[in-house]
Structure 1
Amino acid sequence: MRYDSITEAIGNTPLVRIDPAVHGLRHIDLFAKLEMLNPFGSVKDRPAWHMARPHLEAAAGGGGGGTVVELSSGNTAKALALLAGLYGLRFKSVTNRMRVPEVRELLLLLGAEIEELPGQSECLDPTDTDDPLTRFHQALSEPDAGYLHTDQYFNPRNVEAHAEGTGPEIVKDLEGRVPDWFVACVGTAGSSTGVARVLREHDPGVRVLGLVAGKSDFIPGIRTIDEVRQVGLFDPATYDVMASVSSEEAIEGMVTLIRRCGLLSGPTGGAAYFGAVRHLREVDAGLAGTGRRESAVFIVCDRAESYLSYVRERRPELVGRAPRRGPVVEVSEAAARVVDVAAARRWLAQQEGPRPLVVDLRGPHAYAALHIAGSVNIVDEVFGELVRGGLPFSKSVPVLLACPVGEKSLRYAALLTGMGHPDVRSLAGGIVAWRDAGAPLVRE
C-alpha cells in the first residue's frame, strides 16, 4: 500500500477480538481497537492531525515559519512535534511537569522545545486566573499571539477526529453492528466523546464506560476524577458509568495484553482492558441463561516502550529488577498530619529543636521558578523510589512535604507516618496555597 505522505497512514487501525480464554467472559465478545498502530504510535495521531492540519497548511502557504504549541506532555505532543517538522515548523510542549522520562527524551529527539510551568494540576483550569498554565493558555488564545495553538482540551476538532474516523471504523469492522459497550479511558475526552456520539447515532442504547485514574494516582494519559472535570471537552452525559482504575491495575492489564494477546500495549490500554473486564463480569453473569450475546470495544491507546521507567518504578520484577525491598505500609490519608500555611510558617520559624526539612515534590522547572526558601527538590517519582527502599530520612528529622496542591504530599505523609516516622507533615493546598497566602517564595 503506497502513500504520498505519512499523514495518509493515520487511521484505519485494526479491531482485534480478545480470546475469551484470556478474559473469561462467556457471553460477551471483547474487541480491542489498536490505536497504537497509528504511524506516530498512538490514538492522539488522529486529533493532532485534525486539529493542526488547517494551521499547518496555512503556514505552508505563507512560506513557513512559526511555532505550534500545545499544553501536552505525552502523545499529543509527540504527534504534533512530528507534524510540525513535516511543515518546517517548530513545536513547543508546555506542561506543569514531564512525568515520564522516556517521553521527555523522545520529544527532545523529535526537536520539540519543552517549557515546564508551575501549575495547579495536570489539566488547566480556565477559571483560575492565577494559575501560570491558565495565563499561558489565555495568552496563546489572543489573536496576535504568534503561535499555532491546537488547544486540545477545548478544540471541538479533537472530538471530530474520532467522530469522523475512529467511531465509523468500529461500526464498519463489526460489519454494521454496534457494540453494546464502549469502554474509554478519559484524558482530553476527545476519543470517548467522538466515538460515543457515532455509536449512539446508530444505536441510542449503546452504553459507555468511562475510566479515570484513582484519586492521587497516576496513569499516563488518564485524568483523575478531579482533573477530568476541568477538561473543556468533558461532558458527564457521555458516560453511563464512571469508574476508577489504579496504576497497579493498569500495569496488570498491560501485562495481560502483552503476554497473553500479543498486543504491545501501554498502561492506558492496560487500564482500559482491566476496567472493561472488571465491569463486564457482572454484565456477563446476568446474560447467563438468556441466550443473548453482547459485545464490547476498548481502545489500546499506545505502546509499551515509552513507559519502561513507569513500570520499573511500580513493578521492578517485570523488567528484571529486584522486587521492592519490603512492602510499603499503606495507611489511610486520615492518619497523616496536615498543616495550613500559617501553621507551617510558625513551625519553620521555631527556634527550639531541629528545623524541619522542607521537601518540594514538584518538577525541577517548577521548583526553579518558585519555591520555599531552604527547601530541597526531590521529584515525587524519585521520592517514591526512596520511600520504597525504606525511610528516606532519619526519624529525628522533622519533615514538611509540599507538592502543587497538597495531594501527593498528603499521600507520602501518610506512607511515612505508617512506616514509623514520628513527625512528617503535609502542606495543605501545597505551593499554590503558600503562594496565594502571600507567603514568601524564592527563585533559583
Structure 2
Amino acid sequence: MRYDSITEAIGNTPLVRIDPDVHGLTHIDLYAKLELLNPFGSVKDRAAWNMARPLLAAATERGSQVVELSSGNTAKALAVLAGMHGLTFKSVTNRMRIPEIKDLLLLLGAEIEELPGQSECLDPTATDDPLTLFHRTLSEPGTACLHTDQYFNPRNTEAHLTGTGPEIVKDLDGRAPDWFIACVGTAGSSTGVARVLREHDPSVRVVGLVAAKSDFVPGIRTIDEAHEVGLFDPGTYDSIETVGSDEAIEGMLTLNRRCGILAGPTGGAAYFGALRQLRAADAELTERRSAVFIVCDRVESYLGYVRERRPDLFGRPRRANSPADLSDAEVHQAPSADVTEARTWLDSGRPPLVVDLRSSFAYAALHIDGSVNIVDELFEELLRGGLPFSRSRPVLLVCPVGEKSARYAALLTRMGHPDVRSLTGGIIAWRDAGAPLVRD
C-alpha cells in the first residue's frame, strides 16, 4: 500500500484467530484485534490522531504546545504527531512508572513535567490536587495549549466508533462477536467498540478488565481509578473483573511464544481475562460462538516491568521477600488501623514510624506530619535485604487508598515484624476525615 502520510496507516489493523490448540476452547473462536500494529505501536494512535487532527492546523499557526495528562501510549503518539507538525509536546503526570516509555518520550523530543498529586492518577474530585488544578487550567477556554484531554474528550471514544468497532464487524463478515473483552484504561476503546457491536447485536456480552487494587498492570486502571475517568460508564459492561500482573504476564507469554503476537502485559491481561470468562461458557455450548479481545501495544516497552516481576524469565533467581508472592488471604488479613485508630496511636506514648509509600511528588503535595517518604518501588528493594526497621519500632504504612500499604503490611508481618499496620483507606481517607496534613 502507498500512503502520503504515516497517519493514513492508523487503523485497519488485523483481526487474527487464536489457534484452538493454544486456548483449548471447543466451541468458541477467539480473535485478537492487533492494535499493536498501528504505526506508533498502540491502540492509542487512533484516539491521539482523532483528538488532535481538527486542532493541529490552528495550533501550528499559533505555534502552540500540545499537552496531555499521560505517561504512556497516548503521550507517545501525540509526541510523534506534534513533531510532524513542527510543534512541541509536553507530557504531564505525577509518576512515570515505565522507564522505557519515559526514555522513548525524551527521544521523541517530549517535555515531561511531573506534578505532585495526592493519588496516582487524575482525580477530578480532589479540588486542591495540583494535577487536578493543572487539568482545569488546561481545560479553560482560550488556553494557548492544544490540550487533547483524553480522559474527557468524546473524540477518544469516537475514534473507535468510526474505526475499531466497524473493522471488527467487517472482518467477522458483518457480524458482531458474542463476547468482547477489553481492558479499561481511559475507557475510550472499550466504550466505542462496545457501542458499535451492540448496534449490530444487542446481546453481545462486554467484559471490562481492571487491575487488582494492590497491583499495577500498565495501561489498566483499578476500579477506583476507572471511576475517576470521565469516559467511563459502568453500564457499558455486563461484568467488570480484575486481573493481576502475574496473570497479565502469563497471558503475554502465551501470546508471545505460542501465537507469534508480540503483545505487552495489557494484551496479555486481555487474553488471560478472556479465557477465564469463556471457559465456563464453552463447556455448555453446542454451537459455534466468537469472542474478540484487543492487543493494545507491544512487549518491548515493558521488559523492565516484566524483569522486575519475573526475573526467572531472564535467567535470574526470583527475588526474596516480594509482595507478589503473597496470597489474597494474607493481604486481606493484613493488620490495619483506620484514621481514628491511627491518630490515637500517633498520640500515644509509643507512636509508630509513619512510612508514606507514594511518589515524592504526591508526598510533597500533602502528607502526615513527621512521616518519611519511601516510594513503593524503593521500599520493595529494601525489603529484599530483610526487615528495614527494628522489630521494636511500630510502623504505620500509608499509600493513596490503602491497598498497596496492606500488601506491604502483610509482607512485613510474614517477615516477622510484630507491630506493623496499614492505614485503612490511605491518605485519601485521612484527608476526607479532616485529619491534619502538611505540605512541603
Do Structure 1 and Structure 2 share a fold, with TM-score over 0.5?
Answer: yes
**How far apart are the structure 2 equivalents of 1:155 and 1:144?**
17
Of 298, 306, 327, 2:293 maps to: 298
Query: 2:335 aligns to what?
Result: 336
| CA contact 2:118–2:363 (8 Å) conserved in 1 | no
| CA contact 2:311–2:318 (8 Å) conserved in 1 | yes
Of 112, 123, 142, 2:110 maps to: 112
**How far apart are the structure 2 equivalents of 1:107 and 1:434?**
35
Matched, 1:387 2:386: no
More deviation in 388-397 or 211-220? 388-397
| CA contact 1:212–1:242 (8 Å) conserved in 2 | yes
More deviation in 72-81 or 113-122? 113-122
Query: 1:8 aligns to what?
Result: 8
Query: 1:103 aligns to what?
Result: 101
Question: Could you list the runs of 5+ residues in structure 2 that have no partner in the other structure?
Answer: none
CA RMSD of aligned residues (A): 2.2
| CA contact 1:128–1:134 (8 Å) conserved in 2 | yes
Query: 2:188 aligns to what?
Result: 190
Shift of 1:262: 0.9
Query: 1:26 aligns to what?
Result: 26
| CA contact 1:324–1:389 (8 Å) conserved in 2 | no
**How far apart are the structure 1 equivalents of 2:314 and 2:89?**
33
Matched, 1:318 2:313: yes
2:253 is paired with a residue whose SS is helix
One-letter amino acid matched to 2:238: D
More deviation in 187-196 or 203-212? 203-212
| CA contact 1:213–1:225 (8 Å) conserved in 2 | yes
Query: 1:154 aligns to what?
Result: 152
| CA contact 1:123–1:231 (8 Å) conserved in 2 | no
**How far apart are the structure 1 equivalents of 2:336 and 2:190?**
39
One-letter amino acid matched to 2:336: R
Shift of 1:212: 1.1
Structure 1 residues 105 and 370: CA distance shift in structure 2, 3 A: farther
Shift of 1:36: 0.6
| CA contact 2:28–2:290 (8 Å) conserved in 1 | yes
Matched, 1:286 2:281: no
Question: Could you list the runs of 5+ residues in structure 1 that have no partner in the other structure?
Answer: none
More deviation in 294-303 or 121-130? 121-130
Give deviations 1:125-180, integer Å, cap 9, x for gaps: 33332332222221111113322111111111011101111111112222222211
**How far apart are the structure 1 equivalents of 2:313 and 2:396?**
33
**How far apart are the structure 2 equivalents of 1:157 and 1:428?**
38
Structure 1 residues 194 and 139: CA distance shift in structure 2, 3 A: same
How many correspondences in the alignment? Answer: 435
| CA contact 2:118–2:365 (8 Å) conserved in 1 | no
One-letter amino acid matched to 2:32: A
Q: Report the TM-score when normalising by structure 2.
A: 0.92
Shift of 1:93: 1.6
| CA contact 1:338–1:428 (8 Å) conserved in 2 | yes
| CA contact 1:410–1:426 (8 Å) conserved in 2 | yes
Of 396, 410, 413, 1:414 maps to: 410
**How far apart are the structure 2 equivalents of 1:76 and 1:173?**
26
One-letter amino acid matched to 2:395: V
Give deviations 1:85-114, integer Å, cap 9, x for gaps: 111222222223222222222222222222
Query: 1:243 aligns to what?
Result: 241
One-letter amino acid matched to 1:335: A
